[in-house]
Amino acid sequence: MKGPATTLRFGVNYTPRRGWFHSWQDFDPAAAAEDLAQIAGLGLDHVRVFHLWPLLQPNRSLIRPRGVEQLVKLVDLAAEQGLDVLVDGVQGHLSSFDFYPEWTRAWHHRNIFTEPGAIAAQAELLRTLGQALAGRPNLIGLQLGNELNNLVRDNPATPQQIDSYLDTLLAATREGLAADPRGLLALHSAYDAAWYGDDHPFTPEASARKGDLTVVHPWVMSGNCATLYGPRSPQVLHLAEYGVELAKAYAEDADRLVWVQETGAPEPLIPAADAPNFARRTLRGAADCTGVWGVTWWCSHDVDRALADYPELEYSLGLFDSAGRPKPVAQALAETVSELRAAPDEPEDRGTALVLDCTPSTRSVCCPGGAYFDAWMRLRRDGVRPAVVLAERAEDDKHLATRGITHLLRS
């Protein structure tokens, strides 16, 4: 599973149509199978799936066997539809809601990133999930959880503490998966603050160096990209590509893959009429990069408006509406996937790179509106396809040669 991809993977983040993730409480295999069949019908090859932490581990020392069984059942239902699966373990954060077990909150508050008991419990959950999932033929791997860095707000930590947390949990994930000889992926993910946020404790280095590949979630709302530049702007249409190149700059292994694991077209930032083109351009842009594992759209099904309190944009992200009807964006995605599989884009030359000179405290230069972001996008608009090279490596001929970079620009 590791190593350079021969074929790009295309998939979707699975959001159950009926009851969103609350449906775990009333898990209905038939309903899940129906959703998954719709997804497979688009020609996608994988889904990313999510359980809820408080339901899986309601007490620090209780991992619900039935919850784990149902998660495995969902993976098997996906297999029946020919879909591979990445499982996210600790949710954690989903669509603006923070799901914490009660043993981490209020009178029982434990910092989930720094308190040894809380870390050990998460490690145990990941080990248990890994053991239960190992051997499933359609399993891609196990990820610590969805954008755990959203939880920093209530669980402050230093970069060193986050590094240690990620190392501990990735080790537990690998232990859990160890019985499976295929080298399944052990991953972690972060929202864009890791790349854009000055002093944010989840660092670009942690994203680009820990776990078996680099996960990016280049969202058009991060740094107000779509608002600043408009939904049809080059900045929006090349955002996934930029995210990939930025991620590659921080890697230590030039062959390390990047997974565009979340991208989507939130209304009204991307008007519905623009969503199909945004999807096409985003997929083609990512496919045009070297070293991409795949692209996974967020998300499969709209949140039903009968459910309250989601940010407005969360209601419009599905390929299917909440009645199960495919939206135009679904068709555009399916067509683009089919085209790319038939005749993959020949990755363009990335011999030119734009040097990135920033520290953890000034990384917001990379954020939409930042100087580096704007310089990169100016080049892109002018027909250059710049890679990204860190300033500390600009004189490292071996690094440059390994990446095939022949020409450096400075902003």
Q: Which is nearer to its own copies, 306 or 343 (CB)?
A: 306
| Least separation in angstroms between CB 93 and its own copies | 9
Residue 20: CB minimum distance to its own copies, A: 8
Taking the least distance from each CB to its own copies, the nearer of 97 and 134 is: 97
Distance CA 215, CA 233 (A): 24
Q: In the beta sheet, which residues pair with residue 214?
A: 258
CB of 96 to its own copies, least distance (A): 5
Long-range CB contacts (within 8 A, 24+) of 55-59: 55/24, 55/25, 56/125, 57/101, 57/121, 57/125, 58/101, 58/102, 59/101, 59/103
Question: Burial code of 342-366, b = ≥16 C-beta within 10 A, e = fewer?
Answer: eeeeeeeebebbbbbebeeeebbbb
Extended beta strands in 39-184, E state: 46-50, 84-88, 93-94, 97-98, 139-143
Query: What is the binding site for its own copies (CB under 8 A)?
Result: 19-20, 22, 25-26, 54-55, 58-62, 64, 66-67, 96-100, 102-103, 105-108, 153-154, 306-309
Sheet-wide strand order for 387-390: 387-390, 352-356, 407-410
Looking at beta carbons only, is 107 or 116 nearer to its own copies? 107
Taking the complex as a whole, how short is the minimal distance between the CB of residue 316 and its own copies, in angstroms?
18
Nearer Cβ to its own copies (80/102): 102
Residues in the chain, total: 411
CA distance 388 to 408: 9
Residue placing its CB nearer to its own copies in the complex, 212 or 314: 314
Nearest CA among 87, 75, 88 for reference residue 147: 88
Nearest distance from C-beta of residue 221 to its own copies, angstroms = 14
Query: Judged by CB, which is closer to its own copies: 1, or 97?
Result: 97
| Residue 307 CB, nearest approach to its own copies (Å) | 5
